[in-house]
Amino acid sequence: MFTIHHVDIKLPGMRIIDNLKRIPLFSRLNESELNRIERSGVLRTFAAGEIVFLENSPADSMYVIMSGLVKIYKIDSDEQGIDICMKREGDFFGELAIIDGDLRSANVAAVEESVFYVLERDSFLKVLSSSTDMFSHVLTSLTRVIRNNSENIFREKLAKQNLQTEMEIERHRALSQMVAGVAHEINTPLGILRTASTLIHKRLNVSIMKELLDDERYSDTMEDILEAADLMQGNITRAHQLVESFKKTSVSQITGKLEDVDLPPTIAEIVGLFSLNAKRAGITVVVADDVPVENRHWVGYPGYLSQIILNLLSNIQRYAYPDRAGGKVDISLSCRNESNPPLFVLTIRDYGRGIASENLQKVFNAFYTTGRNCGGTGLGMAIVHNLATSALQGKVSIESEPGEGTAVTLIFPQRIKEAEPDREA
């Protein structure tokens, strides 16, 4: 299909050296070493459209573009060319080939008539082996290239990971906001319904109604009406409670007060709120506090933190140690001063039933619950996630092993940036 041919031409007085210097591999070479390299190569002209080399062909030389323009491209499975990049005067390509002599990883074609300085692997290796200094210079540069590359890969990986976390938080936030929005809309008609049902309930309990109830002719009908009114009242109250918790999935719907508190006693207080439930369920909560005295201050929202902790503790009661099985809960608090801003690390760990790995990531999803038949709504962990990431400006993670228990870890800054929770409003 393509014919590959080169026209070898003599070296004119072009500043090849200036271009060679820019190649990272040669960055440590001095002027005389560069001169020797320059003399080992040749100049070649490629016509517009001519292929310089094809993917998977053996790599035997590197190219510096003295003039012209080239296109680096790949061929995908549909035989379509995908351009990777263009290179122009002063750029170079195929430089690693002179080290490893591997197969080419892409195709290169001249877009317009181009002149390249071409250095063949064999000639390069010959110069290199003639001088240990030069060899060591190239080796140092090569090490640096490799190090830079691995650093780039690491940085890219980190960026990708951060993006994924952000996307995850965004997904949770969007869903929570939708739930809270719907709840807000339902709230008004529900409020009216509630007032109306209270009125009906009240009216049915006046004495004339009681007389009707005692009257044989009406008693069945009256009993039905009273029962229906009770049902209405009870379920409307339940619906109201649900809507209230739906609203809480979005931080903008709950209010918190920014306070400067001593964190360990604040946590002890929150745990105290749970003590009655704990006693009934046979749960012992032990708080371990590893925070040095000088780092105990937290500028944050204790109200939100208490919602988070109480949600986690009630989950432990319901799911980790069900049926009053009882057990231990370890809460540990430490701080990380080396990070900026300094962070608190709070872990709440149980040794109960645990969560199967395929369900672990679902626990933060709104409406995911395994306790639908015992009053679960699946909103608790969604609220925890949202409060931890939005209101406390931190992170939350969960680890669990079936039969071994579950640990939820919150990491949040010791000083919250103000105005942040309004972001959602």
Q: Footprint of ligand ADP on residues 284-313 (CB under 6 A)?
A: 311
Least distance between ligand ADP and beta carbon 344 (Å)? 21
Told to check if 197 binds Mg ion by CB under 5 A, we report: no
Choose one: 57-65, 132-140, 224-232, 314-322; the region binding ligand ADP (CB under 6 A): 314-322
Choose one: 30-38, 213-221, 239-247, 377-385; the region binding Mg ion (CB under 5 A): 377-385
How far apart (Å, rounded) are the C-alpha atoms in residues 264 and 48?
Answer: 73
Nearer to Mg ion (CB atom), residue 70 or residue 388: 388
Nearer to Mg ion (CB atom), residue 300 or residue 380: 380
Could you tell which of Mg ion, ligand ADP, none binds residue 350, using a CB distance below 5 to 8 A set by kind? ligand ADP
Decide: 386 and 421 in contact? Cβ < 8 Å.
no
Least distance between ligand ADP and beta carbon 376 (Å)? 3
Nearer to ligand ADP (CB atom), residue 6 or residue 362: 362
Decide: 272 and 308 in contact? Cβ < 8 Å.
no
Told to check if 253 binds ligand ADP by CB under 6 A, we report: no
Told to check if 218 binds ligand ADP by CB under 6 A, we report: no
Site string for ligand ADP, 380-409 (x = CB under 6 A): xxx-----------------------x---
Nearer to Mg ion (CB atom), residue 117 or residue 364: 364
Chain-centroid distance of CA 302 in Å reads 25
Choose one: 191-199, 275-283, 288-296, 351-359; the region binding ligand ADP (CB under 6 A): 351-359
Nearer to Mg ion (CB atom), residue 62 or residue 384: 384
Could you tell which of Mg ion, ligand ADP, none binds residue 327, using a CB distance below 5 to 8 A set by kind? none
Nearer to Mg ion (CB atom), residue 114 or residue 315: 315
Three-state SS sequence of the chain: CCCCCCEEECCCCCCHHHHHHCCHHHCCCCHHHHHHHHHHCEEEEECCCCEEECCCCECCEEEEEEECEEEEEEECCCCCEEEEEEEECCCEECCCHHHHCCECCCEEEECCCEEEEEEEHHHHHHHHHHCHHHHHHHHHHHHHHHHHHHHHHHHHHHHHHHHHHHHHHHHHHHHHHHHHHHHHHHHHHHHHHHHHHHHHHHHHCCHHHHHHHHCCCCHHHHHHHHHHHHHHHHHHHHHHHHHHHHHHCCHHHCCCCCEEEEHHHHHHHHHHHCHHHHHHHCEEEEEEECCCHHHCEEEECHHHHHHHHHHHHHHHHHHHCCCCCCEEEEEEEEEECCCCCCEEEEEEEECCCCCCHHHHHHHHCCCCCCCHHHCCCCCHHHHHHHHHHHHCCCEEEEEEECCCEEEEEEEEECECCCCHHHHHC
Told to check if 322 binds ligand ADP by CB under 6 A, we report: no
Nearer to ligand ADP (CB atom), residue 104 or residue 385: 385
Told to check if 351 binds ligand ADP by CB under 6 A, we report: no
For ligand ADP, the binding residue among 232, 376, 399, 409 (CB under 6 A) is 376
Could you tell which of Mg ion, ligand ADP, none binds residue 392, using a CB distance below 5 to 8 A set by kind? none
Neighbours of 69 (CB within 10 A): 16
Told to check if 353 binds ligand ADP by CB under 6 A, we report: yes
Would you say the C-alpha torsion 65, 69, 74, 75 has a positive or negative sign? negative
Nearer to Mg ion (CB atom), residue 256 or residue 380: 380
Nearer to ligand ADP (CB atom), residue 259 or residue 404: 404
How far apart (Å, rounded) are the C-alpha atoms in residues 289 and 333?
Answer: 5
Told to check if 350 binds ligand ADP by CB under 6 A, we report: yes
Could you tell which of Mg ion, ligand ADP, none binds residue 370, using a CB distance below 5 to 8 A set by kind? ligand ADP
Decide: 182 and 245 in contact? Cβ < 8 Å.
no
Site string for Mg ion, 302-331 (x = CB under 5 A): -------------x----------------
For ligand ADP, the binding residue among 53, 304, 319, 344 (CB under 6 A) is 319
Told to check if 380 binds Mg ion by CB under 5 A, we report: yes
Per CB under 5 A, residues contacting Mg ion are 315, 380
Per CB under 6 A, residues contacting ligand ADP are 311, 315-316, 319-320, 350, 352-353, 355, 363, 368-371, 376-382, 406
